[in-house]
A and B are shown apart, each in its own frame.
Chain A
Amino acid sequence: MRSSSRQGPRAGIGLKAATLGAVLFLHVPLLIIILYAFSIEERSFQFPIPGFTTQWFAVAWEREDVRRALWLSVKVGAIATAAALVMGTLAAAAVWRSRFFGREAISLLLILPIALPGIITGISLRSAMGLLEIPFSTWTLVIGHATFCIVVVYNNVLARFRRTSRALIEASMDLGANGFQTLRHVILPNIATALLAGGMLAFALSFDEVIVTTFTAGQQATLPIWMLSELIRPRQRPVTNVVAVFVIAVTFIPIVLAFYLTRDTQDTAGALK
C-alpha cells in the first residue's frame, strides 16, 4: 500500500508486458475450460470448438453419480471447515495471547500439512487408518481435510488478532465483562470477518482437494475424485467439462467474497501459507 499509492515512476513496457503475460498465463486456461463446456464436440478436445451448445449442463445435472459426488464434497467441506474454524481460532488465540516455549514450533506444526507434499499427508493417514483398521467413511475424509484446513483459518485469524490491540480485552474485563462476555461482545465481533474469510477459503480448499482425498476416500467419490477418474478413463468428456466449470464457480465465489471481506486489512493475502 505505502509505496504503491504514491505516484512513483512509471513502469517500463517490458515490466508491464511481463505482468500481463503472467496474469494471462494464470487465467487463460480457465477461460478455455469454460469455453469447452459449451462445445458440441464429444470425443476430442478440438479447437476451435466446432459449435456451441448449453445442453451439457442439463445432462450433467441429471447424472446421479455427479450429484452424489457433489453432495459428498459439500458435506465433507462443511464439516472439515467447522472443525478447522474451531481449532485454527484456538491456536491463533493461544499464539496471540502469550509467548510460550515452543510457540514457533506450533506455527511449523500447523503449516506442515500443506508445506509437505499432500501425498505424504495422504499416505500417512492411510497407513495409520490401515494400522488401526478404521473403515473409510465421510469421517476419514473429514479428518484429512480438516488437517490441512486448520492452517488457513489460523493464518487468517492470527493476522486479524495481530492487528487487534490486546488492550481491548483488558478494557472489556476492566469494565466488568467476564471471559465469555468478552468473547461474545469484543473478540468475536472483531474477528468475525477474518473467521468468515478463513472459513470460506478452507471450504474452497477442501472442495477441490484431490491428493489427500484419494488416500482417505476408499470407494467414496468426492467431486474431484469423480473428475480424476474421468481424466484417467474418460467416459463423457462434455460432462467433465461442465463439472469443471461448476468446480471453478463453487471455489471462486467464496474466495472472491473472502477477499472483499478482508480487503481493508489484506488478511487473506497474508494467509497464503
Chain B
Amino acid sequence: MTAATLPAPLPRGGGVSRFLYGRPGLVLLLLLAPPLLWLGIIYLGSLFTLLAHSFFYLDEFSGVMVREVSLDTWKEFFRSPAHWDVVLRSALMAAAVTLASALIAFPLAYYMVRYAGLRLKGLLYLAVMLPLWSSYLVRVYAWKLILAKEGIVSWLAAQTHLTWLLEALLATPVVGGPSLSTSYLGTFTVFTYIWLPFMILPIVAALERVPATVIEASGDLGANPGQTFRRVILPLAFPGVVAGSIFTFSLTLGDYIIPSIIGKSTPFLGETVYRLQGTAGNIPLAAAFTVVPIVVMGVYLMIAKRLGAFDAL
C-alpha cells in the first residue's frame, strides 16, 4: 500500500440509522405512515363519511338532515325516474366523450411514437402536457368565447357560407339547441377538448412499449401495413386506450363546471350532486348520487386492471 495513513475513524452520528438497521419493517412503516395517514384518514375517512351520509335522511317537513341510519334516501334515489335519467345521460355523454377522445388521440399518439423525430416528439409531448396540467377553467372559458353566438364559430360559418350547416346541426333534435353554447353538442365538444390529453399520453406510453422489432417481424411475415396495424399494433396499444378511458370517463362523469357553463339546463350527474348538496341542502341524496360514479369507476378499474391497463398509466 502506498499511502501510509490509516483511514480516519467514522465521525459520530448515525445512531438512528444504526437503530433502524435490521428493522426494515420499521423503516417501511416510518416511510409509509405520513402519506398513508393523510390519505387514509383525510381522504378515505371523508369518502366514508360521505357514503355514510347516504344512509341518513332529510326530514320531510323541516328539511333538516337526520343523523339516523335508514334506507329512506336510497329508496328515494331508486324511486325517481328523473334520477335515472341523470345517470343515463351522464354515462352516455361520458361514453361518447371517451370514444371521441380515443379517435382523436390515437393518430396523434401513433404519429408521435412511430414517425416524429426526437425534437418534434418532444414538442408534441409538451403540446399535450400543457393543456393536461393547466388552465382547466381557462380552457372551458375559451370555448365560451368560441361557441358564443357572436363568436368565432358563427363568424367562420358565415365566412365560408356554411351557416346553413351550423343551423342544421343546431336544429337536430336532442343534441342541438338555440346556440352551440347551449346545446349538448357544445357540452360534448368541450368535454372532449378538456379530457383529450388524458387519453393521448397513456396511448403513447402503450405504443412506446411495442418494440419496433415486433412491427418489423409482422411485415417480415407478410402482413401489409394495414394488417400489421390491426393485428399487432392495435391489440398491443389497447391497454393504453383503456387506461386513458379511465380518466376521460371518470372525469366526464363527475364534472359539473363544464355543463353548467356550456350546455342545456338539463342536469348531468356532477351538477345534480352539486345542486343537491348546495342549494337543496340534501346531502344524503347527494351522497347517494356520488356512489354511482364510485361504483362505475370501481367496476371500470377492475376490468381495466384485468386488461393490463395499469401498466400503461
Q: A residues within 8 Å of B by Cβ? A: 1-6, 8-11, 15-16, 18-19, 21-23, 25-27, 29-30, 32-33, 36, 44-48, 83, 86-88, 90-91, 93-94, 97-98, 100, 106-113, 115-121, 123-128, 130-131, 143, 146-147, 150, 154, 176, 178-181, 201, 204-205, 208-211, 214, 224, 227-228, 231-232, 240, 244, 247-248, 251-252, 255-256, 259, 263, 266, 268-270, 272-273
Contact = CB atoms under 8 A, between A and B. Distances in A.
A48 B150 CA distance: 9
B270 A117 contact: yes
**Size bracket of the B interface:** 35 or more
Interface of B: 10, 13-14, 16-18, 20, 24, 27-28, 31-32, 34-36, 38-40, 42-47, 49-50, 53, 104-105, 107-108, 110-118, 121-122, 124-146, 148, 150-152, 154-155, 193, 196-198, 200-202, 204-205, 208, 210-212, 215, 225, 246-247, 250-251, 253-257, 260-261, 270, 273-274, 277, 283, 286-287, 290, 293-294, 297, 301, 310, 313
Nearest to A214: B274
Given A4-B117, A23-B124, A115 B297 contact: yes
Contacts of A4: 112-118, 121
Contacts of A273: 313
Nearest to A255: B133
Given A150-B35, A150-B39, 12 more contacts: A3-B212, A4-B113, A22-B105, A23-B127, A90-B35, A109-B36, A115-B297, A117-B251, A147-B42, A208-B135, A227-B137, A269-B204
B115 A119 contact: no
A19 B43 contact: no
Given A128-B45, A247-B137, A251-B135, A44 B31 contact: no
Given A123-B50, A240-B141, A115 B31 contact: no
Contact of A106 (B32, B108, B136, B155): B32
Contact of B201 (A113, A119, A143, A269): A269
A179 B114 CA distance: 44
B73 to A, nearest CB: 13
B142 A33 contact: yes
Given A117-B254, A123-B273, A255-B130, A209 B38 contact: no
A118 B269 CA distance: 12
Contact of A256 (B124, B126, B255, B256): B126
Nearest to B127: A23
B43 A231 contact: no
A227 B293 contact: no
Contacts of A3: 113-114, 208, 210-212, 215
B129 A269 contact: yes
A124 B50 contact: yes
A75 to B, nearest CB: 19
Nearest to A183: B17
Main secondary structure of the interface of A (DSSP, over half): helix
10 contacts: A19-B108, A19-B112, A23-B127, A26-B196, A48-B155, A112-B43, A204-B133, A208-B136, A240-B141, A259-B122
A110 B35 CA distance: 9
Contact of B141 (A15, A86, A231): A231
Contact of B46 (A22, A111, A128): A128
B17 A116 contact: no
Contact of B205 (A21, A115, A270): A270
Contact of B253 (A107, A117, A154): A117
Contacts of B105: 22
Contacts of A205: 133
Contacts of B111: 11, 15-16, 18-19
B148 to A, nearest CB: 4
B35 A87 contact: yes
Nearest to A109: B39
Contacts of B202: 272
A231 B205 CA distance: 36
B265 to A, nearest CB: 13
A26 B193 contact: yes
Nearest to B276: A123
Contacts of A146: 38
A252 B116 CA distance: 23
